[in-house]
Copies of this chain bind each other. A is one copy, B any other.
Amino acid sequence: MKVLIIGGGGLVGQKLARALAARETLRGAPISSLVLADVIDPAQVDAPFEVQTVTCDIADPASVASVIDADTDVIYLLAAIVSGQAEEDMTLGYQINMMGTMNVLERCRELASKPVVVFTSSIAVYGGEVADPIIDDSFLNPQTSYGAQKAIGELLINDYSRKGIVDGRGFRLPTISVRPGKPNRAASGFMSSIFREPLNGQEAVCPVDPDFPHYYLSPRKCIENLIKGAEIPAQDLGKNRCMMMPGRMWTIDQMIEAMRNVCGPEPEKLIRWEEQPEILAIVKGWRFDLRPEKALRLGLTADDSFEDNIRYYLEDDKPVV
């Protein structure tokens, strides 16, 4: 079992690599090697099997060809230009998020080896005037370029799977919180930083009102779901191989209350409330009343409480000072 993680240097890629190293198997077979590919050479991960770290630009077909060969059994396609940046730089967003996905699938067509491809889509594919609640059959009406590019990626994953070129499956990730590390250029960045920074004794800015509702998942559950996602039998996926990944809807207020329940009243004092119109313009179009029935039926799960999200951050990610 040879696994490739494209986007292997990112938060999700690195956590996934460590989880694969710990479990040693995927889809019922021992992992023999893991390739971590990213636009900047990814950090190495300790594992009981060979781990290669390589640079790869998915906008370049030759670069994609250098990381996928006929022995690649499972490809995690996590690489993306995130929402804020894709909105600012339309050219780069389409190059990476649309053409990059196309290049990976076209490379698989050259090889005729039919790898499992796990694609990370986003709940940013939802939006517009589509009626609530969002169910598995709801129309995708993204209101950002990032969402449009992810919706296009889903169509490509489905079409190349239908043609027998890959065994694809796509999961629309909820907003991941609490993300460790530094902020990235995602418009959703504050949804982690307002917990992460205060828990680390630093100030953070919340650009939305306390009653702003959104749909969340912890990194730990996300990784569990991505591993299960690779293992779902193809015949259980039906004619649409892309689906919501389960998450839960919380308001900012409810999440702060959860932080208080776990860590006491001090951290929240470090949150500064300051409206940011350019962030609001993106996130107010996002949907939060989501019903991920297909994914739940297939065994994927959400967090039980936001208290868990806070605890997972403390257990898995909080820097030791």
Contact = CB atoms under 8 A, between A and B. Distances in A.
A138 B134 CA distance: 11
A36 to B, nearest CB: 29
Given A102-B94, A151-B155, A155-B148, A143 B162 contact: yes
A152 interface: yes
Contacts of A128: 238-240
A136 interface: yes
Nearest to A130: B137
A138 B141 contact: no
A232 to B, nearest CB: 16
A319 to B, nearest CB: 38
B148 A239 contact: no
Interface in A149-189: 151-152, 155-156, 158-159, 162-163
B142 A155 contact: yes
Given A137-B138, A163-B145, A239 B127 contact: yes
A139 B142 contact: no
A102 to B, nearest CB: 7
A148 B142 CA distance: 17
A236 to B, nearest CB: 12
A131 B294 CA distance: 14
A205 B136 CA distance: 39
A90 B102 CA distance: 12
Contacts of A109: 90
Contacts of A139: 136-140, 240
13 contacts: A128-B239, A129-B238, A130-B137, A130-B240, A136-B139, A139-B140, A140-B155, A141-B158, A143-B162, A145-B163, A148-B155, A148-B156, A151-B155
The 5 A-B residue pairs with the shortest CB-CB distance in the complex, in nearest-first order: A128-B239, A148-B159, A137-B139, A148-B155, A141-B240
